Amino acid sequence: VEAAIPEPARKAWSKYTPKGFETPEDFEKEAIRHIETTLARSLYNCDDFATYAGTALAFRDRLVLDWNKTQQEQTLADQKRVYYLSLEFLMGRALDNAMLNVGQKDVAKKGLEELGFRIEDVISQEHDAALGNGGLGRLAACFLDSLASLNYPAWGYGLRYRYGIFKQEIIDGYQVEVPDYWLDFNPWEFCRHDVTVDIHFYGHVRKYTTDEGKQRCSWEGGEIVQAVAFDVPIPGYTTPTTNNLRLWGSKAASGEFDFQKFNSGEYESSVAEQQRAETISAVLYPNDNLERGKELRLKQQYFWCAASLFDIVRRFKKTNRAWGEFPNQVAIQLNDTHPTLAIPELQRILVDIEGLDWDEAWSIVSKTFGYTNHTVLPEALEKWSVPLMQHLLPRHLQIIYDINLHFLQYVERNFPKDRDMLGRVSIIEESNPKMVRMAYLAVIGSHKVNGVAELHSDLIKATIFKDFVEIYGPDKFTNVTNGITPRRWLHQANPRLSELIASKLGGHEFLKDLTLLHKLEEYVDDKEFRKEFQEIKYANKVRLAKHIKESTGISVNPSALFDVQVKRIHEYKRQQLNIFGVIHRYLAIKKMSAEERKKLAPRVSIFGGKAAPGYWMAKTVIHLICEVGRVVNADKDVGDLLKVVFLEDYNVSKAEIICPASDISEHISTAGTEASGTSNMKFVLNGGLIIGTCDGANIEITREIGENNIFLFGNLAEDVEDLRHAHLYGQYKLDPELNSVFEAIRSGMFGDAGSFSALVNGIVDHGDYYLVSDDFASYCQTHEMIDEAYRNQEEWVTKAITAVARMGFFSSDRCIDEYAEAIWNVEPLTPKKEGAQVSVH
């Protein structure tokens, strides 16, 4: 590469490489240059949006310089890289993050002020990058932040959806979905017109014999769609390391565009073909913890896996190593089973294209992949019908059958007495139609399988992967408890708290090593510190109250206890338990004397979250919340004692306002159903307490912060099965308090009772699968304890500060180090100092 660079170019480069800006004036110059030239806007139409665009482009220039350098250094270092394959990256906004990571937010703030703009207004012009549903996609985004901040050579691979998760509008108390077209202006992506991969679908398999007399397969016929790379720079915090997120967009392959048709005037149908190809990356499937087996979704999965694998293999081949070295250079992490087709795809590349023998190829494949499981819910475990796969990916289906054959032969040899085991562990489920069990394929094709919190990792070993623990031994299975990036979820979302902490800990070092927070415990009795801590929480509540007023018209009192549940709406997450609790509280208040009411802490119950468009029960829950809000908020007799708010369109940027403003947040899934949860961590880190079940990461949060600083309630995971069983045999009695809530709903107090009958009947008549009734009494009692605890503000603040100080474990930096050590075997690459010459050989 080096030899090809002419000397004059080299000289010019070293002289003219842009440097970025240091002062507010330099920043202004860059921003204005972009507004005038890149955007062709003048001073006379420079509004908040244009200023955002100019600011983003100025920061983008900075990022790109670090990015180019990082990529060059990583290529030269030629060490093992991590590839994180995820169908979802829920990034949110990028500008604030870029400013903070580059360390120039103050410069920009000052520069923008001088131009007459407020930085918050400018930042809030940005459209969220919402290429994800919920926790799984946001985890991927936090991981990218940590990988860059810790200087790991790592790439993310995903799909460039033209439409992210839908925008939610609440109209007359119902969710309405509006498409999220987000690419009108996206300064953070770079289309690599020269990085394309042809992706094959359909067709048939031809067997042939090579010149050496070997039996081989070739996948022929069918159609080709082109994948085009769009690259997004991912800056690390206080490091020049800027990693790459590569998102694939789909378009018609150049050879496929039918020029004949075009020329003969049938250009409409030729354009239709183009559009058909583009559909593959058009839209994110809006299901969370639910799989629906749609052909287009399978196409998305293969399109993205094949393009990513081709890219990774192409990069490896440039280093001229032996194939056996592949797992020493490449670690691929599968974010849930969505990218599992990468396993047969790599096997296909190695065997069909590169000519390796099956066993040699399989040994490479199974050392390369790691698989993270994010759920035990049966409705979320991916299965694809064999006929569909046969049609779309005939060669991959064969390979999957062969993988299965080898695997089952191994099982048969080692467990000759357990004849049922073969049927239980087979990748192919013998149903009608037959189904491919993707989680089993992922386990068999990976060298490590991890869950995302201790309880969850134990549960997968005891339930869905029990047989595989017997087959492979327990070491193949491990736990990496989830984490969150403290840069976005503390420093960016709650700058005042971050500054307060920095003032006590002597700087912002804790943002890179969150365990340093423990020193805060020394200040738990410090009057000034406590006062400031409380004032910050209050100010954050004022900010949220303002947002609530602007978006819903509801006035809430910032001194009230803010009780928040924001997450995807799902029966297992039990927003229904929360709203039934709210109704219970409302009915209780209505019966209280003036004296009793005085003792009550005023409350605001805040809900937010999207329901999958086809998830009727979840939509009913939203409707009930809205109806309860309509009635309660209008009840003068109740006044400030209770307000109920449903916040429209919960997303990452709204979470940044909501998380710092809660007193209590709710993480109340039926025990054993929430794999981890990550917002629980965000709320506690921001000085809020939580009410939760013994589920997911709540358990480890309790272990870290102490059981006095969390409000736990409800049945344990180990008892869930028996309780469900008891319901089915009628050996249970509906909780009487819950029954009075149902009476109120049936009376029409919250509008048409019929709309809620399925919700109520699911509990009364149909087995109460999520154990709402079983947990209702302890849930309500725990809320009473919260009322009482909140009245003692001094103790409350002590709990909140102590909890923050003990949250160090939940940084996604800790997770990434654990993955790097126990699963990927990769080392960080310390970036070269500024000005150091990189020699290319």
Active site residues: 374, 567-568, 573, 678, 682
Stretch that binds ligand GPV, among 161-169, 372-380, 599-607, 627-635 (CB under 6 A): 372-380
Query: Starting at the edge strand that comes first in sequence, how are the strands of the sheet with 81-85 ordered?
Result: 190-201, 223-235, 242-252, 154-159, 81-85, 330-335, 369-372, 448-451, 477-479
Residue with tokens 């003990």: 806
In the structure encoding, which two tokens stand for residue 636, read together? 């003068």
Residue 208: which H helix or E strand, with range?
strand 204-209
Q: 96 vs 336, which CB is nearer to ligand GPV?
A: 336
HSE (side-chain half, CA atoms, 13 Å) at 447:
17
User: What type of residue is 259?
Assistant: F
Rounded to a whole number of angstroms, the minimum distance from the CB of residue 441 to ligand GPV is 16
Q: 24 vs 696, which CB is nearer to ligand GPV?
A: 696
| Cβ(150)–Cβ(91) below 8 Å | no
What one-character-per-residue DSSP string does 736-760 give?
HHHHHHHHHHHTTBTB-GGGGHHHH
Rounded to whole angstroms, how far apart are CA atoms 665 and 661?
10
User: What type of residue is 54?
Assistant: G
Q: 104 vs 337, which CB is nearer to ligand GPV?
A: 337
User: What type of residue is 476?
Assistant: K
3-state secondary structure of 790: helix
Site string for ligand GPV, 670-709 (x = CB under 6 A): ----xxxxx-----------------x-------------
- Own/partner contacts of 107-115, CB < 8 Å, gap of 24 or more, are 107/21, 107/22, 107/23, 107/24, 107/27, 108/24, 108/27, 108/55, 108/58, 108/59, 110/24, 111/24, 111/25, 111/27, 111/28, 111/31, 112/51, 112/55, 114/24, 114/28, 115/28, 115/31, 115/32, 115/51
- CA torsion 140-141-144-149 (nearest 10°) is -130
Q: 134 vs 235, which CB is nearer to ligand GPV?
A: 134
> Using CB atoms, what's the residue nearest to ligand GPV?
135
Stretch that binds ligand GPV, among 128-136, 516-524, 654-662, 796-804 (CB under 6 A): 128-136
Among positions 393-452, residues that touch ligand GPV (CB under 6 A) are: 452
Rounded to a whole number of angstroms, the minimum distance from the CB of residue 336 to ligand GPV is 5
Stretch that binds ligand GPV, among 108-116, 132-140, 534-542, 634-642 (CB under 6 A): 132-140
Rounded to a whole number of angstroms, the minimum distance from the CB of residue 771 to ligand GPV is 18
Q: In this structure, what DSSP letter does residue 236 have?
A: P
Rounded to a whole number of angstroms, the minimum distance from the CB of residue 380 to ligand GPV is 5
Q: In this structure, what DSSP letter does residue 15 have?
A: H
* Cis peptide bond N-terminal to 344, omega within 30: no
User: How far is the first Cα of the chain from the last one, in angstroms, to the nearest whole number?
Assistant: 7
Rounded to a whole number of angstroms, the minimum distance from the CB of residue 337 to ligand GPV is 8
Q: In this structure, what DSSP letter does residue 487 have?
A: I
Tell me if 380 contacts ligand GPV by CB under 6 A.
yes
Rounded to a whole number of angstroms, the minimum distance from the CB of residue 456 to ligand GPV is 8
Distance of CA 777 to the CA centre of its chain: 33
Give the binding-site size for ligand GPV (rule: CB under 6 A).
Answer: 19
Number of H helices, E strands in the chain: 34, 24
Rounded to a whole number of angstroms, the minimum distance from the CB of residue 622 to ligand GPV is 18
Q: 241 vs 811, which CB is nearer to ligand GPV?
A: 811
| Cβ(129)–Cβ(164) below 8 Å | yes
Which residues are registered as beta bridge partners of 733? none
Rounded to a whole number of angstroms, the minimum distance from the CB of residue 145 to ligand GPV is 15
Rounded to a whole number of angstroms, the minimum distance from the CB of residue 167 to ligand GPV is 19
Cα radius of gyration rounded to whole Å, the chain: 28
Rounded to whole angstroms, how far apart are CA atoms 220 and 203?
6
- Own/partner contacts of 627-635, CB < 8 Å, gap of 24 or more, are 627/173, 627/750, 627/751, 628/579, 628/582, 628/583, 628/586, 628/750, 629/554, 630/173, 630/750, 630/751, 631/749, 631/750, 632/582, 632/586, 633/554, 635/586
Stretch that binds ligand GPV, among 181-189, 373-381, 588-596, 655-663 (CB under 6 A): 373-381
Rounded to a whole number of angstroms, the minimum distance from the CB of residue 436 to ligand GPV is 17
Q: 493 vs 675, which CB is nearer to ligand GPV?
A: 675
Neighbours of 558 (CB within 10 A): 18
| Sequence-distant (≥ 6) Cβ neighbours of residue 33 within 8 angstroms | none
Residue with tokens 């989680």: 439
Site string for ligand GPV, 133-152 (x = CB under 6 A): xxxx--x-------------
In the structure encoding, which two tokens stand for residue 154, read together? 């790592």
In the structure encoding, which two tokens stand for residue 178, read together? 């509006």
Q: 167 vs 374, which CB is nearer to ligand GPV?
A: 374
Q: 568 vs 584, which CB is nearer to ligand GPV?
A: 568
Stretch that binds ligand GPV, among 129-137, 278-286, 419-427, 758-766 (CB under 6 A): 129-137
Rounded to a whole number of angstroms, the minimum distance from the CB of residue 658 to ligand GPV is 17
Site string for ligand GPV, 464-483 (x = CB under 6 A): ------------------x-
Stretch that binds ligand GPV, among 7-15, 127-135, 187-195, 210-218 (CB under 6 A): 127-135
Among positions 504-543, residues that touch ligand GPV (CB under 6 A) are: none
In the structure encoding, which two tokens stand for residue 151, read together? 């200087």
Q: 563 vs 674, which CB is nearer to ligand GPV?
A: 674
Q: 392 vs 681, which CB is nearer to ligand GPV?
A: 681
Distance of CA 789 to the CA centre of its chain: 33
| Cβ(633)–Cβ(537) below 8 Å | no
- Which spans in 415-484 are helix H? 419-425, 438-444, 454-462, 466-472
Among positions 255-294, residues that touch ligand GPV (CB under 6 A) are: 288-289
Among positions 321-360, residues that touch ligand GPV (CB under 6 A) are: 336
Q: 143 vs 607, which CB is nearer to ligand GPV?
A: 143
Stretch that binds ligand GPV, among 186-194, 374-382, 711-719, 747-755 (CB under 6 A): 374-382
Rounded to a whole number of angstroms, the minimum distance from the CB of residue 101 to ligand GPV is 23
Q: 585 vs 667, which CB is nearer to ligand GPV?
A: 667
Q: 143 vs 790, which CB is nearer to ligand GPV?
A: 143
Among positions 645-674, residues that touch ligand GPV (CB under 6 A) are: 674
Q: In this structure, what DSSP letter does residue 639 have?
A: G
Rounded to a whole number of angstroms, the minimum distance from the CB of residue 397 to ligand GPV is 24
Kindly list the residues in this chain that would bind ligand GPV in the complex (CB under 6 A): 133-136, 139, 288-289, 336, 374-375, 380, 452, 482, 674-678, 696
